[in-house]
Structure 1
Amino acid sequence: MPALQIYGHRGARAEAPENTLASFRRAIDAGVTRVELDLHLSADQQLMVIHDPTLKRTTGLHGKVAQHSADYLRRLDARHALPDWVEPCPIPSLDQLFAACPEIRHYQLEVKSGSTEQARRVLSAILQLVEQFGLQERVTVTSSSRTLLRQAHTSNYPLPTGLVEEYGLLDPVKSALRYGCRMLVLNWTLCSPALLARARQTGLHVSVWTVNEPELMQHLATLGVDSLITDRPTLAMQLFPDAGS
């Protein structure tokens, strides 16, 4: 069985302002070199590292990411949800993250996409940056959007994809295979020995989120998940010191 891997959720969400360079640096400093993050397009079609489509929760400002230029968004302070953090933390663009953190060995790039046209734009923008930085072997594009995954599959998109499944209303293994995914990113509550066995038989990598308690980390590791996505990479590395790389 492959060794367990740890992914920092939005960098190190419980330890630094989420989806900022400070957060990804915190994960790296803890020994975690795999991260999960979220992407939205700016008004000028640049990929910005931010979870919500709106600015309110992380910056305290009103408005949507898609309404503003990348230059404007990069000047905003995204530590609103973690006000005790001393230094300002701008919203990074994806190219800034790639340039600033060469130590990261693998990215789960989660896209929340709506229309087919938006999916095309996001997938194209990701591929352009991944090729620019030579990260083809270090990126998986993940999404809960069947529209985006279908677009990737039918267009023979060259980067691997992963299905993000929160509720399990449909068979997640079948759904992942239908769209040619290599990864299944599960809400940990959906994880069961039977599902893991089926996923393993098909070659799917099973990554579970968001796992923050030590007892739950140990339980899921014992079940045999391939990777844990956690807000607390420092704690995870204390429990699994060989899992960061």
Structure 2
Amino acid sequence: MTAQSSTAVSPALTAFDPTTSHSSSAATTVPSSPTDDKSNPFTFLTPAALPDIADSDEESLRELERRVREGQGRAVETWGHRGASAAFREYFFAFACTYLLKLIHVTHYVAENTLASFAKACQDGADGIETDIHMTADDRLVMFHDPELSRTTDGEGKIHELPWEGVIENVRTLEAPHQPVPLLSEVLALLMRPENIHVKLNIDCKVENDPVRLFPMIKAELEKFDHWQTLLAPRIILGVWHSAYASLHPEQPKFIEPAQQHLPFLPRYAICMSIPTVREYFFTSCHGFSMYFPTLISAEGVAFRAECARRGKKVAVWTVNKEEEMKECLRWGVQAVITDNPDITVGLVDKVKQDPTALLSSYLQQLVLPWSSIKYYSLSHAYEAKLERDYLEREGGTFDDVAITERS
């Protein structure tokens, strides 16, 4: 089953076709949707269009369950940040400096958090996908980073104030290939295709969400799939930024409690830019931590990683796009590297597996790395962490609203 092709093909998409069925080759081109065509080219990804897993024989089900458990067997996994977002970008050139007469190359990701981006990450061999979730006004779950639509799409307004039906369903990305905003159900359907049955999904639960509504809705979507307990739920990770929701919304409980109540079978990962914040508010109630790379490269980061290893806590690192940073993560032995370029990270991990010496860097490179960028300096990433916490507390209440008995 293949969606109808148009004659216009985006040059950035010649490597794969996310609109083909699970049995077809991935090495074909992807048609870009005309700007006036608002039809969804991914309707085949709905649960009803899945291969009929319910009728699979017992041996086939056992094989699928084995692939879910074992994944691809990489010591360090690669998770595509908002899919393979760096694969879909437009290039702009700007005259930057009169004296140097130099053009600076700026990239703009145009298809992040789309089914095309998720399908590309799967094709690139990613072990997982990191994406963000929001609730619409009519209780649909969409995978989108920003709380409002205008940065990457032709829509406007805040997602939680807009309905899916008749509004968000018609929104498309600004640049070709003009992609719709995907529903959680469509992303889950993509991951239930047999060739993607090993791919994990790290759901970044944005602080604008009401967890009391959100988590039962996520569970309801999981339950729509046959054998979801063994083939789907073991691959889902719940990422949370905030442990409390009390100051602005005293009637709503904390993120952690609703997660424990409605999704106790999903591991919880705190997403954070500050090690002290993780230690105080998340360490005992979360199974793992999704951490900003610069926070882990410091002496404090070394101690934190060692403690996580002793306590059995998983560590994922974001957003890692430079090869030296990727190598550093592999040397650390973290669970996962979250990157805009999963094809590059997967290639490096597989190369190191074949030849461990590929992981080596010169002593000078390793010595210089923590000082090679201003973002690695403690004052810089501490300032970024403060900005992030100010935003979280403005949207979700102060962290100190967490009951003292729940704090580490």
Shorter-chain TM-score bucket reads 0.7 to 0.9
* Secondary structure of the structure 2 residue equivalent to 1:70: coil
Of residues 189, 194, 213 in structure 1, which corresponds to 2:294?
Answer: 189
Of residues 77, 101, 110 in structure 1, which corresponds to 2:172?
Answer: 77
Structure 1 residues 140 and 22: CA distance shift in structure 2, 3 A: same
- The answer to whether the 8 A contact 2:154-2:171 is kept is no
Matched, 1:65 2:65: no
Q: TM-score scaled to structure 1, two decimals? A: 0.88
- The answer to whether the 8 A contact 2:138-2:164 is kept is yes
User: Which stretches in structure 1 are left out of the alignment for 5+ residues?
Assistant: none
Matches within 5 A, 1:73-152: 73-78=168-173, 80=174, 83=175, 86-102=176-192, 103=196, 105-114=199-208, 118-133=210-225, 134=228, 135-147=232-244, 148-152=254-258
Q: What is the CA–CA distance in structure 1 between the aligned matches of 2:275 and 2:305, rounded to whole Å?
A: 14
- The answer to whether the 8 A contact 1:11-1:24 is kept is yes
* Secondary structure of the structure 2 residue equivalent to 1:137: helix
**Equivalent residue for 2:117?**
23
- The answer to whether the 8 A contact 1:10-1:35 is kept is yes
The answer to which structure has the higher helix fraction is 2
CA shift for structure 1 position 60 = 4.0
CA shift for structure 1 position 24 = 0.4
**Equivalent residue for 2:281?**
175
CA RMSD of aligned residues (A): 2.0
Of residues 228, 236, 239 in structure 1, which corresponds to 2:337?
Answer: 228
> Post-superposition, which runs of at least 4 consecutive aligned residues in structure 1 deviate over 2 A?
147-157, 167-170, 173-178
Q: What is the CA–CA distance in structure 1 between the aligned matches of 2:259 and 2:185, rounded to whole Å?
A: 25
Structure 1 residues 61 and 208: CA distance shift in structure 2, 3 A: same
- Cα-to-partner distance string for 1:2-21 (whole Å, 9 max, x where unaligned): 81011000001111310000
CA shift for structure 1 position 166 = 1.6
Q: What is the CA–CA distance in structure 2 between the aligned matches of 1:122 and 1:51, rounded to whole Å?
A: 16
Structure 1 residues 223 and 33: CA distance shift in structure 2, 3 A: closer
**Equivalent residue for 2:269?**
162
Matched, 1:217 2:322: no
Structure 1 residues 205 and 36: CA distance shift in structure 2, 3 A: same
Q: What is the CA–CA distance in structure 1 between the aligned matches of 2:201 and 2:117, rounded to whole Å?
A: 14
Give the total of aligned pairs: 233
* Secondary structure of the structure 2 residue equivalent to 1:23: helix
Q: With CA pairs under 8 Å and 6+ residues apart, which has the higher RCO, 1 or 2?
A: 1
Q: What is the CA–CA distance in structure 2 between the aligned matches of 1:40 and 1:101, rounded to whole Å?
A: 19
* Secondary structure of the structure 2 residue equivalent to 1:125: helix
Structure 1 residues 7 and 15: CA distance shift in structure 2, 3 A: same
**Equivalent residue for 1:37?**
131
Q: What is the CA–CA distance in structure 1 between the aligned matches of 2:138 and 2:145, rounded to whole Å?
A: 18
Q: What is the CA–CA distance in structure 1 between the aligned matches of 2:212 and 2:241, rounded to whole Å?
A: 15
Q: What is the CA–CA distance in structure 2 between the aligned matches of 1:137 and 1:167, rounded to whole Å?
A: 28
Larger Cα-atom Rg: 2
- The answer to whether the 8 A contact 1:120-1:151 is kept is no
Q: What is the CA–CA distance in structure 2 between the aligned matches of 1:217 and 1:181, rounded to whole Å?
A: 25
CA shift for structure 1 position 228 = 0.4
AA in 2 matched with 1:220: C
* Secondary structure of the structure 1 residue equivalent to 2:85: coil
**Equivalent residue for 2:140?**
46
Q: What is the CA–CA distance in structure 2 between the aligned matches of 1:156 and 1:63, rounded to whole Å?
A: 30
**Equivalent residue for 2:85?**
13
AA in 2 matched with 1:236: T
AA in 2 matched with 1:61: G
Q: What is the CA–CA distance in structure 2 between the aligned matches of 1:187 and 1:19, rounded to whole Å?
A: 20
Q: TM-score scaled to structure 2, two decimals? A: 0.54
- The answer to whether the 8 A contact 1:114-1:145 is kept is no
